[in-house]
């Protein structure tokens, strides 16, 4: 049996009620999302799978002054700090 992707697991758990988007004001908020996702899925998925899930998120910046940092955020680098 093939393991479900993180996205499929979330969609199933929420009975289809899921939007693959995060809205953040600063990198601190993205860091928290990365830590939360890693904490929840690092026992069942590889860092590569977690990275692919995070990297496929649509990210919207809520604070204009932080747009450059937000839109250039490096999920891979952030995941390295979770290990």
Tell me, yes or no, if the pTM score tops 0.85. Answer: yes
Is 47 within the bounds of a domain? yes
Is 1 within the bounds of a domain? no
Residue 22 forms beta bridges with which residues?
59
Is 38 within the bounds of a domain? yes
**Structural domain harbouring 74:** 19-80
Spell 46-70 as b/e; 16+ CB within 10 A means b.
eeebbbebbeeeebebeeeebeeeb
| 1 pLDDT more than 80 | no
pLDDT recorded at residue 60? 97
Give the number of domains in the chain. Answer: 1
**How does residue 2 score in pLDDT terms, banded at 50, 70 and 90?**
low
Top-confidence residue, 2 or 36: 36
Is 9 within the bounds of a domain? no
Is 60 within the bounds of a domain? yes
Is 46 within the bounds of a domain? yes
């Amino acid at each position: 049996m093939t393991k479900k992707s993180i996205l499929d697991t979330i969609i199933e758990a929420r009975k289809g009620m899921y939007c693959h988007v995060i809205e953040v004001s600063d990198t601190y908020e993205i860091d928290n999302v990365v830590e939360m996702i890693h904490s929840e899925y690092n026992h069942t998925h590889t860092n590569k799978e977690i990275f692919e899930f995070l990297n496929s998120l649509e990210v919207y910046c809520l604070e204009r002054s932080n747009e450059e940092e937000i839109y250039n955020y490096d999920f891979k680098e952030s995941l390295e700090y979770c290990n």
